[in-house]
Amino acid sequence: MSNAYLRFWGVRGSHSAPFASHLGIGGNTSCVEIRVDDHILLCDAGTGLINFGNEMMKQKDIREMLIILTHYHWDHICGLPFFVPAFVPDWNISIFGPGIKAANIEEYVSAQMKAPFFPVGTETWLAKINYLPPPQEHCFSYGPMNISYDNVHHPGITYGYRIQVRGKTILYISDNECLYLDKSIKLKYGEVSPEEQVLYDRMNKEEYASEIKLIQGADILIHDAQYTPEDYQKKRGWGHSCFIDTVNTAIDAGVKELYLYHHDPNYDDREMDSIYQHAKDIIKQRKASLICHLAVEGMIIDLE
């Protein structure tokens, strides 16, 4: 394997989906590893982290890693209570996520391991755990990786991460509702005065420009694409994207490669395949150069 790669350990959103009908895509929740030489960055700590931790215990060279969390919804942190390296001395694990100070991160991560929800708390972690304080200017570095982040459209405070490494820009945006304002405005458009419509149009334009800016320059964009249009209608405002909006926004922003991610746990392999075919049709119809993939558990992308 190359010295620089990205690996999907979990690709589901909301909850794990360990059903035989779903395992072609994978059943574990959000976790992506970016490895460059001995530096390991993990994006989110869903159930995919458990398998990653077990693999790490089989080797002796690396004892350090950084976990960056987009937010603290269960599907993004529920691998931590079962993450074996955290329970082993001589490991050094840094954790970063939303919070106004480092203690907030500790508080949120620990909450899921408090009685009566879990038998042991984070005080039983024997590894050295460093909760990172929020840096100035929303950016910091880890080994050869430069990491920055922005708020995205998802309930509570949720970050989207931009990681620059080996001359590539990788965007990890697991939970984000594309065109959120556009869709809300369209619902109300007929009910407001022409003056208000002008205002709506201006707000909408500014908002879309900021959505484009968020993902512009991405060589690799890993983005929420949770719903079909039918399910999106029922779950508007829940903070997840219809895959069609994800594809169109990625095309508009000039993204090179898109990985549809945070798959709905209700969709089996067949449904996921139909989503993928539809995504490719959109790209063809728009004559766009975007390369689109479904994120699949176990998939490895070479970053060399």
When binding is defined by CB under 5 A, the residue of 4, 8, 13, 127 that contacts Zn ion is 13
Shortest distance, CB of residue 238 to Zn ion, whole angstroms? 9
Binding mask 172-211 for Zn ion (x = CB under 5 A): ---x------------------------------------
Contact status: 10 vs Zn ion (CB under 5 A): no
Closer by beta carbon to Zn ion, 29 or else 204: 29
β-strands 139-142, 145-151: how paired? antiparallel
When binding is defined by CB under 5 A, the residue of 7, 12, 22, 73 that contacts Zn ion is 73
Q: Among 50-58, 74-82, 131-139, 266-274, which window interacts with Zn ion (CB under 5 A)? A: 74-82
Closer by beta carbon to Zn ion, 73 or else 162: 73
When binding is defined by CB under 5 A, the residue of 75, 211, 264, 297 that contacts Zn ion is 75
In whole angstroms, what is the distance from residue 30 CA to residue 28 CA? 7
Residue whose beta carbon is closest to Zn ion: 73
In whole angstroms, what is the distance from residue 229 CA to residue 240 CA? 12
Closer by beta carbon to Zn ion, 36 or else 78: 78
Q: Among 8-16, 99-107, 115-123, 162-170, which window interacts with Zn ion (CB under 5 A)? A: 8-16
Closest Cα to residue 68, out of 11, 132, 155?
132
Binding mask 217-246 for Zn ion (x = CB under 5 A): ------------------------------
Shortest distance, CB of residue 28 to Zn ion, whole angstroms? 12
Q: Could you list the residues that contact Zn ion (CB under 5 A)?
A: 13, 73, 75, 175
